[in-house]
Amino acid sequence: MRLFIVREIRESTGFSQERFAGLFHISVGTLRNWEQGLRRPDGPEHVVAAVHSAAQVID
């Protein structure tokens, strides 16, 4: 997984970090760490859930 894919997904929705983090019940700090490549989401299931939820919101 590329490090900045979470940022790309969030930016494609047009959401702020605050709104995007709120959708996934994570802190903005956690989201920033993911976007900056300092941390990775806890396992592939979290990433899949995040992408699926983002797609639902976009539709």
pLDDT band of 14, cuts 50, 70, 90 = very high
* CATH at 45: 1.10.260.40
Kindly report the backbone phi and psi dihedral angles of residue 40, in degrees, each rounded to the nearest multiple of 5, phi listed first: -115, 150
- For the chain, the average pLDDT equals 80
| Structure confidence at residue 48 (pLDDT) | 67
Structure confidence by residue, pLDDT tens digits, 29-52: 999 998 888 887 777 767 766 676
Q: Which pLDDT value is given to residue 41?
A: 78
Closest of 50, 58, 56 to residue 24, by C-alpha: 50
What is the reported pLDDT for 28?
96
Cα separations in angstroms, 22 against 1, 2, 8, 10, 54: 23, 23, 17, 12, 12
- Domain total of the chain: 1
**Domain that includes residue 53, residue range:** 5-58
